Amino acid sequence: MTTDLSQYDEKNMPGADVLNHQRYAIIMADWNSDITSAMARGAMDTLVKQGVLTDHILIEHVPGTVELTYAAARMMREQSVNAIIVIGCVIQGETPHFQYVCQSVTEGVTMLNVQGRVPVVFSVLTTLNRQQALDRAGGKLGNKGVEGAVTAMKMANL
C-alpha cells in the first residue's frame, strides 16, 4: 500500500501522448508562501515530467487558503482545464481560526468535486506546526504538491 505518492510509479501514470493535450491549473495560496511555493514547484515539475506542456499549466495566486475555493470555482467556469490542484498551508495557532479555515476550504473543495465538472485536488497542508509543513513541502515526508499533481493526472484520466 502506497502512503506517499511523492514516490509514484511512472508506469501507472497516463502517457505523454494523452497528457500533452490536457490542461491543468495550480491555484496557490500566498500565505506561508515559502511552503506553498515549494509545493507548487513540485506539482509543476511533476506535470511537466509526465508530459503536460508547460503552456498548458495555468498558475493562479490567491491571498490565503480560504480563497482557494473561489478561485477554483471561477477557474472551472472560465477556463477549460482537465483538473485543478489547490495548494495551501494552514498552521495551527493559538486561536480557533485554524479550524474555521480548514473547515471552509475542505467543505468548499468537496462541494466543487460533487459538482463533477473537473476534479479539484486538495493539496492543502493542515499542520500543528511549521516543521510539519516543511516536512511535507519537500522535506522528509515528501512533497504534497507532487502528490497533488499525480492525483490530478489520475483523476483527469479516470
> Closest Cα partner for 137 from 59, 37, 62?
37
* 97 labelled catalytic: yes
Strand segments, DSSP code E, in 22-96 are 24-29, 57-62, 83-91
Q: Do the Cβ atoms of 144 and 32 come closer than 8 Å? A: no
Q: Do the Cβ atoms of 28 and 118 come closer than 8 Å? A: no
Cell, residue 137: 513541502
| Catalytic option among 21, 56, 61, 97 | 97
Query: DSSP assignment, residue 141?
Result: T
Catalytic residues: 97
